[in-house]
Structure 1
Amino acid sequence: MQSPFANMPPVVKNLLIINIIFFIATYALAQVIDLRLYLAAYYPLSPMFKPWQIITYMFMHGGFTHILFNMFALVSFGPMLEATLGSKRFFNYYFITGIGAYVLYMIVQAIQIHAIAGAFTIPHPELEASYFNYGSQENAQALYGFFNAPMLGASGAIFGILVGFAMLYPNLEMMIMFIPVPIKAKYVVIGYIAIELFSGIGRFSGDSVAHFAHLGGALFGFILLKIWRVQKPNNFYE
């Protein structure tokens, strides 16, 4: 029986394997250590922040559905992008877009903190009582979340992959769940970005998705391909 990894390019294959290992380890070791406290990403001025989290957060996921959709997108769109960019450049692309996702998300978070506290941090953020000095219970809860809620998942880098795919294969038709007709890749990705932007600006109650991280991955992916001047293969027909 042929291995399911046999036809995967090396970077996509190893990213998939590493993500699965981290996901299994998170739950297997849950009674011993909460890996999310050390490997998910926190606000840079949070007492819980560690430099390596800028990379390791991409391999942490909040649940089975989270990792399922991210890995499905990775193996669906990553191989063509890796084939076009080459493995070394695709590796760089993946991690730069993931870091870009963190950067944009934390910039937005810093702006939100400043709007409440008048500064980019607060005195003694490690003390829960510190959050109750800023006007209201709502402000206290928001500040507590900014400093203590982690960012995790490969979604930022995945959005980078989606943008790269749409830029290189814009007219490739795709089937989207619940939509009975094929849609060109460029329109699918534009639609996704519009939804993320609307959701991020709207900040709807109960929404815990890091929409600006997705937008950061997409933005950095767009910029990278423009800087690298990557063109789609001449032998590809849409």
Structure 2
Amino acid sequence: MITITLSIILLTSVISFTGFSNQKVLDDLIFYPPAITNRNQWYRFITSGLIHADIMHLLFNMYSFYLFGDLVERTFVQIFGESGKLIYLILYIISLIVCLLPTYFNNQNNYHYRSLGASGAVSAVIFAGIFLYPTMGMGIFPIPFHIPGFVFGPLYLILSAYLAKKGHGNINHSAHIWGAIFGIVFLIITTSFLSKFNAFENFINAIKLYIAGY
């Protein structure tokens, strides 16, 4: 049975590969704030997450998404029952929008700004996974050993904030930050209102047990 995660990966890969050889596809789907401001092309918040700059950009995002997406999707089904897959899909789609809102407001009329890739939504899924399983080991280059998710998460956000402030490279670090925050907020809100699972309490208790050596 094909999962929501695999469906997103397949769709994103097909459209991204099409864009690699078709500039019109990139121009029509890319996140371009003036097109939203002046032509109301709001769909670009979502379609920009279906295209990537190159094969390495696509592979990195989709591999990261697969590693965490499969876990988060299965956990959502355990928490929310039959509606878990739909809630998981909603998380992904809304995070594509939310992660780009600060970027949009800062570049509404910037005719030189463009952004593409699913990094913000992938960050939302990764941080939802970290919040669900805060003690799972995660690797970060160049550290040669794994660190628990609840340590990795803050380090990642601090580094992203620093790089965003420095304007490092062509990476939209703001989307990473807001995607990550949204993933956690979405998880807390949905579990609070739609399930008996207390995500925040689970997060705290898991860290306490980890520190205590259990």
Matches within 5 A, 1:1-238: 10-28=3-21, 30=22, 33-44=23-34, 47=38, 50-85=41-76, 86-110=84-108, 121=109, 146-204=110-168, 207-229=169-191, 231=198
Q: Is the 8 A contact 1:77 1:165 kept in 2?
A: yes
What SS does the aligned partner of 2:53 have? coil
Structure 1 residues 95-143: Cα deviation after superposition (integer angstroms, max 9, x where no partner): 1111111112212335xxxxxxxxxx4xxxxxxxxxxxxxxxxxxxxxx
Q: Is the 8 A contact 1:166 1:186 kept in 2?
A: yes
Greater C-alpha radius of gyration: 1
Structure 1 residues 156-213: Cα deviation after superposition (integer angstroms, max 9, x where no partner): 0011011101110001112334322221012112211111111111224xx1111111
**1:125 alignment counterpart:** none
The gaps in structure 2 that reach 5 residues or longer are 77-83, 192-196
What is the number of equivalent residue pairs in this alignment?
A: 190
Distance 1:26 1:48, change over 3 A: farther
What SS does the aligned partner of 2:177 have? helix
Q: Is the 8 A contact 2:20 2:53 kept in 1?
A: no
Greater share of helix? 2
Distance 1:148 1:35, change over 3 A: farther
In 1, Cα distance between equivalents of 2:106 and 2:126: 22
Alignment-mate amino acid for residue 95 of structure 1:
I
In 2, Cα distance between equivalents of 1:190 and 1:21: 33
Alignment-mate amino acid for residue 209 of structure 1:
I
Distance 1:35 1:149, change over 3 A: farther
- 1:48 deviates by 7.0
What SS does the aligned partner of 1:147 have? coil
- 1:147 deviates by 1.9
- RMSD of aligned C-alpha atoms? 2.4
In 2, Cα distance between equivalents of 1:49 and 1:58: 18
- 1:148 deviates by 3.5
Alignment-mate amino acid for residue 28 of structure 2:
Y
Q: Is the 8 A contact 2:107 2:113 kept in 1?
A: no
- 1:27 deviates by 2.5
- TM normalised by structure 2 equals 0.80
- 1:231 deviates by 4.3
